């Protein structure tokens, strides 16, 4: 029997790692695109090393894959410049998505940010809006755009501002974000990841998901 198969881009990050784990929990095979050599002892997880600067992926790479999850992202500090940041957060994501659709992948899920807007004055939110605009022009059966607020969880490289935010938001600020402001609440990376897996392909066309959607779907109520 043909096993369900998914692709994860950004599988070593906070959200991507959890997406991989939740897919495996559902007995779904995972092909994780990575920049550096990785080895897995799990029969359901295979790493595939690629050159993100020379993205020429064959149809064979996407063979049998129905869902692709893009959790790729960086920071200006790590990337080194605004141009390098946008290469990761826009160019890489778009090129992989475009090739996935051309090879027959039906559903795409991507993590952006609350406030994403290609017309925003803020560089980060503008960049996230730009990749959203590009992704939504690709003809997938279903596109899931996940817009979280502050992500909570242990990162490989925790930055001071994020560390402080993770201590303040969940316990001091979140309780006061009510009604229409609830979407600004922080969210655990693992909850977001579980929701991404549950919501992939759930709605036709372009779908945007926020804080309450993440929590509801992660509980199995999607």
Question: Are 94 and 131 in contact, with CB atoms under 8 Å apart?
Answer: yes
Give the Cα separation of 56 and 103 in Å (integer): 12
Number of domains in the chain: 1
Phi, psi of 130 (to 5 degrees): -65, -40
Q: Look up the domain containing 145 and give its range.
A: 5-217
Structure tokens at 185: 């609440």
CATH number at residue 36: 3.40.50.720
- Note whether residue 142 is domain-resident: yes
Q: Helix, strand, or coil here: 108?
A: strand
Give the pLDDT of the chain (222 residues) as one tens digit per residue. Answer: 345 799 999 998 899 999 999 999 999 999 999 998 888 899 999 999 999 998 888 888 999 999 999 999 888 888 899 999 999 999 999 999 999 999 999 999 999 999 999 999 999 999 999 999 999 999 999 999 999 998 887 665 555 455 555 566 665 776 677 888 889 888 999 999 999 999 999 999 999 999 999 999 988 755
In terms of Cα–Cα distance, which of 17, 25, 48, 5 is closest to 111? Answer: 17
Give the Cα separation of 3 and 52 in Å (integer): 27
* Alpha-helical regions (H) of 10-64: 14-25
Residue-level pLDDT at 170: 63
- Note whether residue 19 is domain-resident: yes
Structure tokens at 75: 């920071």
Q: Is 181 exposed, middle or buried (0-12, 13-18, 19+ CB in 10 A)?
A: exposed
DSSP 175: G
Structure tokens at 184: 């600004």
Give the Cα separation of 207 and 18 in Å (integer): 21
- Note whether residue 222 is domain-resident: no
Residue-level pLDDT at 1: 39
Q: How far, in Å, are 38, 53, 95, 197 from residue 90 at the CA level?
A: 24, 12, 8, 22
Phi, psi of 209 (to 5 degrees): -125, 145
- Note whether residue 150 is domain-resident: yes
- Note whether residue 95 is domain-resident: yes
Structure tokens at 171: 């316990």
């Amino acid at each position: 029997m043909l096993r369900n198969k998914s692709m994860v881009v950004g599988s070593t990050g906070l959200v991507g790692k959890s997406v991989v784990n939740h897919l495996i929990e559902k007995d779904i095979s995972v092909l994780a695109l990575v920049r550096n050599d990785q080895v897995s002892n799990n029969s359901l997880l295979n790493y595939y090393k690629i050159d993100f600067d020379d993205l020429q992926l064959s149809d064979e790479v996407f063979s049998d894959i129905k869902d692709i999850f893009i959790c790729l992202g960086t920071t200006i500090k790590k990337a080194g410049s605004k141009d390098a940041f946008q290469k990761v957060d826009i160019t890489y994501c778009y090129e992989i998505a475009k090739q996935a659709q051309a090879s027959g992948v039906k559903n795409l899920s991507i993590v952006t940010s609350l406030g994403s807007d290609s017309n925003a004055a803020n560089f980060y939110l503008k960049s996230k809006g730009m990749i959203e605009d590009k992704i939504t022009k690709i003809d997938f059966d279903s596109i899931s755009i996940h817009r979280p607020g502050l992500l909570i969880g242990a990162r490989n490289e925790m930055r001071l501002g994020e560390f402080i935010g993770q201590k303040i938001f969940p316990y001091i600020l979140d309780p006061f974000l009510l009604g229409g402001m609830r979407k600004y609440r922080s969210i655990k990376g693992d909850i977001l990841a579980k929701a991404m897996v549950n919501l992939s392909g759930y709605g036709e066309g372009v779908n945007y998901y926020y804080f309450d959607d993440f929590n509801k779907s992660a509980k199995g109520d999607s």
